[in-house]
Amino acid sequence: MALTIEDATAYIALNCIDIEDWADADDAKKQRIVNVAQRTLTTRYASYTIPDNAVYEFANVLATVFNDTNRLQQQGVSGFSLQGAASFTFKTESVTGPAADLTKFIPQTALDLISAANGGVKLSRRNVGWTVL
């Protein structure tokens, strides 16, 4: 099935809690986010079937990660204020950088959907590695 902004918006509206950043994005940005979400998931989990809903879950997360406020942090702004309205201060570490690993933002919900679509294979955000004692 082809991914569409309309399907993404409908899914996100019904299944995600924090949807403001997705809802506030224009159609061109939504399309870019869906494209990047799909490409990231299909690259990371190349041997698995990626259901549309998993892409939409990830797209909603990316909409928040790359919203206007977080984008300022990515560009190196440490804080700013709007006189009489609001003040924002960012943590010292950046949310993302120009060469960020987007896989770290894949939500467990998306992995659960991929797992279900592939016979219940267990996928997790945790990496398995060697430990030396």
pLDDT digits (tens, 9 = 90+) for 74-127: 545 555 566 667 665 655 555 555 446 899 999 999 999 999 999 989 998 765
Q: Provide the number of structural domains found in the chain.
A: 1
CA distance 72 to 94: 10
**What pTM was computed for the model?**
0.76
Q: How far is CA 100 from the centre of its chain?
A: 12
Nearest CA to 114 out of 47, 19, 35 is that of 47
> Does 96 map to a domain?
yes
Nearest CA to 107 out of 57, 42, 40 is that of 57
Provide the residue range defining the domain that includes 93.
5-117
> Does 34 map to a domain?
yes
> Does 127 map to a domain?
no
